[in-house]
């Protein structure tokens, strides 16, 4: 079992009150777990900055009536087939589709995949959400 270490933190009273409201809204049972999540999130972001092996989702909405758009998006995905692991396609309405892709690889490569897809004319909105493979990340 890993050893827990206690430490003190000094905060402005208003900042602490805001943090406590966030903890309550997100249903944390205590401040310690909320602080652990903040630290983990910062470490995950650093993995991307250091170009380590990471995983991500690329989510985007597009108008499927735009000529040749579906072919362009598929072509880009094939260009990055070593990084795209899975995908889900949802018909939102008569005109719009949602795609969610799961990607894996070095941070810079995944950014390249997302940039290539999200910049195509006809993609209305998209977002890259990165996370970690979990290796080396403490609980």
Residue-level pLDDT at 136: 65
Report how far apart, in Å, the C-alpha atoms of 8 and of each of 11, 21, 31 are.
10, 20, 12
* Positions in the chain short of pLDDT 50: none
User: What is the pTM (predicted TM-score) of this model?
Assistant: 0.74
At 88-126, the pLDDT tens digits run 999 999 999 999 999 999 888 998 999 999 999 999 999
Other beta carbons within 10 angstroms of residue 31's beta carbon come to 13
């Amino acid at each position: 079992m890993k050893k827990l270490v206690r430490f003190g933190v000094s905060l402005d009273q208003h900042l602490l009150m805001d943090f406590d409201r966030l903890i309550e809204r997100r249903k944390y049972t205590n401040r310690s777990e909320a602080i652990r999540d903040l630290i983990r999130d910062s470490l995950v972001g650093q993995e991307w900055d250091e170009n380590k092996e990471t995983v991500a989702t690329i989510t985007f909405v597009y108008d499927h009536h735009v000529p040749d758009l579906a072919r362009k998006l598929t072509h880009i995905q094939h260009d990055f087939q070593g990084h795209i692991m899975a995908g889900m396609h949802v018909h939102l309405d008569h005109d719009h589709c949602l795609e969610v892709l799961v990607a894996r690889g070095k941070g810079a490569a995944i950014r390249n995949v997302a940039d290539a897809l999200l910049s195509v004319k006809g993609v209305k909105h998209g977002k890259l959400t990165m996370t970690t493979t979990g290796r080396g990340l403490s609980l």
